[in-house]
Structure 1
Amino acid sequence: MAAADIPVWERKVRMFLGVFGLILSLYALHVELSREHDPEYRAMCDLGESVSCSKVFTSRWGRGFGLVQFFVAKDSPLNQPNSVLGLVFYTLQLGLGLSLSKKAALFLVLSSWVSVAGSLYLAFILAFVLGDFCMVCVSTYAVNFALLFTNMKRRSAIEGQKKKAG
């Protein structure tokens, strides 16, 4: 399977999802940093008391999924905003999406499963702990599920090609 063999739909979908994920992550980071510097900052996604992305991003769960702080200091460089993790994830999805190797396909699928697990965890926190609705967060969850689907299709196609060639 050569790079030219990647279906056009997949290239377009992966590019859209990766770039959209990067934009969402950059915006989330911008909101969090702006709110840290100015507690009165109001983001475009802050539509009301229970529809507030800045409330979510600046909550304990907005950094290290709310879990890292149990292992390192709250202000440790290891306790990064979730949006920074998103930037790394979407960059890897775009970069590794250019490779048609079996290992890259496996990594794409496994990392997507981790992102979906994180999305489900954070969606639970959003709904049942914070009692909030965050449009940026929900959009990110949708991107993660769509990337999982795309990556599973890629892996199946590569596996199918390997079987035909072998």
Structure 2
Amino acid sequence: MDARALTLEGRRPLPPSFFFKGASITALLGAGVSIALVISHVRLFTDPAYESFCAISQSLNCETVSQSPWALLVGVPVAAWAALGYLAFLALVSIRCDRPAAQQGLPGLALAVAIGFVAYSLFLAGISSLVIGSYCLLCMALYAVNFALLGWSWALLRRSKSPVFFEALALDLQNLFRTRPGRAFLAATLAAAVALKLFYPAYWEIRPAGMARDLANGLTAEGRPWIGASEPVLEIVEFADYLCFQCRKMHVHLRRLVERYPQKIRLVHVHYPMDHEVNPAVTAPFHLGSGKLAMLAIHAAGQGKFWEVNDLLFVMAESRGEIDLREIASRTGLSVEGLAGSLADAAVREKLAADLSYAVSAGVEATPTFLVRGKTYLGTIPEEVFRDVLK
């Protein structure tokens, strides 16, 4: 046996094909997890009844991470970019440039991409910890994938014809731009990225704006706003918070049902802001400012503008930024002075207190909660509740 074929430990070194296969399988795993994240992201925003398997706690919750603006990158979910990135990485370690001495893959470029993946993983991990305050299990799985790709790429580079990183990177870039397979890879990757940016639907924009405005609406005997059927077959009372994601998603879903069945369904809105400044049941800071939003909506109800302001507040609260009273006034016809004054109006606060008291009597502890035919439902309403009505 040729001693040069043995390592110092007396074992044959692993062939480059082993590392190519390891890198390829890991990249495919990353693409699979990314696609699972994309599916979860789509369902979170489009399926009112969806609950992610990793919505385990406040600090370990994929839904919280997916709802944050950091889940998007230039208007496309990060997970969708990740799926494309892993497939591109797979191509980088598989491509064969059409030169006589060319080797399989572009290990220098693959290592550079893996370094970028790891750097972005560390950035997102910091955002999850310091900004969002919650972690995503599937995201953490991708962090592990990225570190594994870094290891595979380093091993591939060490077994390549140019084991020095910058030399290999320069050679790979040369092959990428000067060979037909390299140019084909660039064209395909660029085309996929452009298509993703141009054609990916913005399903996360859950907005009731644009719905029919000619629906019957008014106030109940207790002064709570309703919309839909004057003599309903089914009345749904929603207890909602304008800063609650599920409230916004369910409200849009129910508004669409009311629009579809305006003679059968009535939706009644009751304010239940999970804001400790106005809600005695909330003992710690949570959904700060939602109490003020509720007061703006109560003022609007007194001016006959509740549903316009209600829809607008759900949209504006999506950004979690400061609410611009001037924008609300210009888009609804209310006065800035009246809106600002409502925040200190004793009558408005009394109505909010009445809503909170009603919610407590109905057994509401969180949002959204729905009261239908004397029974409360948390989060969503089962399909069987609508079965008889929607025949």
Q: How much has 1:34 moved relative to structure 2? A: 0.6
The alignment status of 1:85 with 2:87, answered yes or no, reads no
TM-score (norm 1): 0.77
The alignment status of 1:29 with 2:38, answered yes or no, reads yes
The alignment status of 1:131 with 2:140, answered yes or no, reads no
Q: How much has 1:61 moved relative to structure 2? A: 0.4
Tell me, what secondary structure is at the counterpart of 2:160? Answer: helix
Amino acid at match of 2:80: V
Give the corresponding residue for 1:48. Answer: 57
Q: How much has 1:102 moved relative to structure 2? A: 8.4
1 CA distance for matches of 2:51 and 2:147? Answer: 29
Aligned residues with identical type, % of pairs? 25
Using CA pairs under 8 Å that are at least 6 residues apart, name the structure with larger relative contact order, 1 or 2. Answer: 1
The alignment status of 1:141 with 2:137, answered yes or no, reads no
Q: How much has 1:15 moved relative to structure 2? A: 2.9
Q: Cα 1:112–1:161, aligned 2, differ >3 Å: closer, same or farther?
A: closer
1 CA distance for matches of 2:71 and 2:163? Answer: 41
Unaligned ranges ≥5, structure 2: 1-13, 97-102, 165-391
Give the corresponding residue for 1:73. Answer: none
Task: Tell me which protein shows more strand as a share of its residues.
Answer: 2
Post-superposition CA distance 1:101-154 (Å, at most 9, x none): 488222211111111110000000111211112111111011001101111111
TM-score (norm 2): 0.35
Task: Tell me which protein shows more helix as a share of its residues.
Answer: 1
1 CA distance for matches of 2:75 and 2:31? Answer: 20
Unaligned ranges ≥5, structure 1: 65-77
Q: Cα 1:6–1:86, aligned 2, differ >3 Å: closer, same or farther?
A: farther
Q: How many residues align?
A: 145
Q: How much has 1:9 moved relative to structure 2? A: 3.0
Q: How much has 1:161 moved relative to structure 2? A: 7.7
Q: How much has 1:160 moved relative to structure 2? A: 5.3
1:72-111 equivalence runs, <5 A: 78-99=74-95, 101=103, 104-111=106-113
2 CA distance for matches of 1:23 and 1:144? Answer: 13
Amino acid at match of 2:40: V
Instruction: Report which of the two structures shows the higher radius of gyration computed on alpha carbons.
Output: 2
Post-superposition CA distance 1:77-96 (Å, at most 9, x none): x4211011111111011122
| Structure 1 segments of 4+ aligned residues over 4 angstroms from their partners | 100-103
CA contact (8 A) 1:22 1:90 kept: yes
Q: Cα 1:111–1:20, aligned 2, differ >3 Å: closer, same or farther?
A: same
Q: CA RMSD in A?
A: 2.4
1:105-120 equivalence runs, <5 A: 105-120=107-122
Q: How much has 1:40 moved relative to structure 2? A: 4.5
Q: Cα 1:15–1:104, aligned 2, differ >3 Å: closer, same or farther?
A: closer
Give the corresponding residue for 1:61. Answer: 70
Q: Cα 1:108–1:161, aligned 2, differ >3 Å: closer, same or farther?
A: closer
2 CA distance for matches of 1:41 and 1:105? Answer: 41
Amino acid at match of 2:65: V
Amino acid at match of 1:124: G
Give the corresponding residue for 1:72. Answer: none
2 CA distance for matches of 1:136 and 1:25? Answer: 8
CA contact (8 A) 1:112 1:147 kept: yes
The alignment status of 1:12 with 2:31, answered yes or no, reads no
